[in-house]
Amino acid sequence: MDKILRINMGAEGGPRAASVSLGNYAGLGGRAMTSAIVAKEVPPLCHPLSAENKLVIAPGLLSGSLAAMSGRISVGCKSPLTGGIKEANSGGQGAQVLGRLGYAAIVLEGAPNGETIYKVFINKDGVKITADNSLKMLGNYDLVEKMKKEYGDKISCISIGPAGEMKMSAASVAFTDMEQRPTRHAGRGGVGAVMGAKGVKVIVLDDTGMPNREPKNPDKFKEANKNFVQGLKKHPVTGEGLPAYGTNVLTNVINEAGGLPTNNFKTGRFAGASKISGETQAATETARGGVVTHGCHKGCVIRCSGIYNDKDGNFLTKQPEYETIWAHGANCGIDDLDAIALMDRLDDDYGIDTIEMGATIAVAMDAGLAKFGDAKAAINLVKEVGKGTHLGRILGNGAAVTGKVFGVERVPVVKGQSMPAYDPRAVQGMGVTYATSTMGADHTAGYAVTANILGVGGKVDALKSEGQIDLSRNLQIATAAIDSTGMCLFIAFAILDQPDTFQAYMDIISGFTGLNMTGDDFVALGKSVLKNEREFNFQAGFSSKHDRLPDYFKNEPLPPHNVTFAVKDEDLDKVFNW
């Protein structure tokens, strides 16, 4: 990965690709790369859909190598949803294939004249950009099938569906999985709308003939990778819980804690939770001949994904994630797994963020467009988005826009982005991260649970509430660093509990890069990413006043525990004091 592919979509005479050296971006990957390029090259006050914005697609530092779990890819830009910097990342095959093709990033720049849309084909021989209006408004599934017919079945696709073409603020960028289905998405923040604004429908990658990336110190790398995999396999979360049930294993637990947002965040308990839980989902998949334990990319050893078949045993969608099950399920009062799975399929096909879509439908339900619990009506609302009707275009621009249009007061967003599947009144530490993240409300922004191992900001007393500010800071730093290596965030559990696994992780990076990566370096990397992002947001007009939850979370108690968000504003402002 010693080069960046820059594609100027607005070049005179048509789009033009140029492969350039890494320059000052050498040594960066994933989120560190996307945020560095956006912070340096995108005017913070530009319109997100304008030619001045850039869409950066960057595999992680270790992607394309044999490092286990290194298949995450980051997509960055100025977000049409939040107006701030955005990094959304995804699994799938894209990171590994792009890494093997040698690109540390693809940067889409400028904007084409007219309405023509393009496909980009990249293989070992170079880059070919072709206008292809026959692809217009194709869903991601049909699009990928068409690309397979044209380029063969060894390809990997990065694409947008109709939502991206219509430049909806909730549009995602899709990545194909091992079965070449467009089931993995960089979902949050409207990155798909920016790809649509660049006029690029699909980037087709073919790494035939390209070897894996080789480590600088093969022996150290190999040994560390082996220890790392062993650490993941022996941990109860990464070795057992996630493979057995996927992320949806959380539904019962969060519901029991009274933190599962239900009916647009009105209560923290959903009566139908057990009908849509990970346990029920796994049993349903097994009974229908689906798959419960499945990786989303080669080299994944956790394998928290799966295959969800319909009642007749035919593939419907990948195993929906916990956030999707919540967004289209509990948050809309829907306890029908098949209906939720269908909405997941539609979201993937239209290319739209499942969290934003579910949250938006719940707001629409509060506005009276449908009744909570009405699965059929919810499915029809998603279809409105795919068709691009006037209503669909409103919904496709997210919960904040929908709330404004229909006069809904209680809209659960921060910086314009919908909250995910944890009510911040019940899990207040999550609320701290929702409020202060550079990304808007984001459950993954402070995900990497390495606080006491890294000792950032000193040891935190786990049982004192004052600790949540320090913890959120540490988690956000660690997450930014992991996002930069291309590692799946789920490695964080093994890292939290097993210092030897954390060391193995550092040794993988050291063995691969030839540098001596330490915990301090890891922290410094995370801090540098956040510094770039916060500086961009500041220049874009954000201040501490935007690091807040909507007022009603402070004033309206959440049943069943009847708690409100009690973290003081002045404490929120301390999160980035380091």
Interacting residues with another protein (CB under 8 A): 235-238, 240-242, 244-245, 247, 249-250, 252-254, 256-259, 269, 274, 277-280, 283, 286-287, 304, 322, 422, 425-430, 432-433, 443, 446-447, 449, 451-452, 460-468, 471-472, 475, 490, 493, 496, 560-561, 563, 566
Compute the least distance from the CB of residue 446 to another protein, in Å: 6
Beta strands in 260-388 (DSSP E): 291-294, 305-309, 315-318
Nearest-Å Rg of the Cα atoms of the chain is 22
Q: Which is nearer to another protein, 83 or 258 (CB)?
A: 258
Compute the least distance from the CB of residue 249 to another protein, in Å: 5
Q: Which is nearer to another protein, 279 or 521 (CB)?
A: 279
Compute the least distance from the CB of residue 45 to another protein, in Å: 33
Compute the least distance from the CB of residue 421 to another protein, in Å: 8
Report how far apart the first and last C-alpha atoms of the chain are (Å, whole number): 32
Q: Name the DSSP letter for residue 239.
A: I
Upstream peptide bond of 560 is cis (omega within 30 degrees of 0): yes
Kindly give, in sequence order, each residue whose CB lies less than 8 Å from that of residue 289, ignoring residues fewer than 6 positions away. 309, 313
Q: Which is nearer to another protein, 55 or 302 (CB)?
A: 302
Q: Which is nearer to another protein, 52 or 279 (CB)?
A: 279
Q: Which is nearer to another protein, 104 or 480 (CB)?
A: 480
Compute the least distance from the CB of residue 129 to another protein, in Å: 40
Q: Which is nearer to another protein, 462 or 570 (CB)?
A: 462
User: In the Cβ-directed half-sphere of 549, how many Cα atoms lie within 13 Å?
Assistant: 27
Return the structure tokens found at 300.
């994944």
Compute the least distance from the CB of residue 564 to another protein, in Å: 8
CA distance 503 to 517: 10
Compute the least distance from the CB of residue 25 to another protein, in Å: 30
Q: Which is nearer to another protein, 490 or 522 (CB)?
A: 490
- CB contact at 8 A, 418 and 410: no
CA distance 543 to 546: 6
Q: Which is nearer to another protein, 283 or 515 (CB)?
A: 283
Compute the least distance from the CB of residue 346 to another protein, in Å: 25
Compute the least distance from the CB of residue 177 to another protein, in Å: 20
CA 325 from centre of chain = 16
CA distance 403 to 415: 14
Sign of the CA dihedral with 28 first, then 77, 454, and 492 last? negative
Compute the least distance from the CB of residue 286 to another protein, in Å: 7
Burial 258-280 (b: 16+ CB within 10 A, else e): bbbbbbbbbbbbbebbebbbbeb
Compute the least distance from the CB of residue 396 to another protein, in Å: 27
Amino acid at 154: K
Q: Which is nearer to another protein, 514 or 557 (CB)?
A: 557
Kindly give, in sequence order, each residue whose CB lies less than 8 Å from that of residue 465, ignoring residues fewer than 6 positions away. 428
Return the ∠ at Cα 444 (arms to 441 and 448), rounded to 5°.
Answer: 140
**Best CA proximity match to 471, nearest among 432, 421, 415, 422:** 432
Compute the least distance from the CB of residue 257 to another protein, in Å: 6
Q: Which is nearer to another protein, 25 or 565 (CB)?
A: 565
Compute the least distance from the CB of residue 427 to another protein, in Å: 5
Q: Which is nearer to another protein, 239 or 386 (CB)?
A: 239
Burial 45-81 (b: 16+ CB within 10 A, else e): eeebbebbbbbbbbbbbbbbbbbbbbbbbbbbbbbbb
- CB contact at 8 A, 294 and 320: no
Q: Which is nearer to another protein, 44 or 71 (CB)?
A: 71
Q: Which is nearer to another protein, 102 or 455 (CB)?
A: 455
Categorise residue 264: left if φ over 0, alpha if ψ from -120 to 50, beta otherwise.
left
Q: What is the dihedral of CA 41, 43, 49, 55, to 10 degrees?
A: 20
- Map residue 128 onto helix, strand or coil: strand
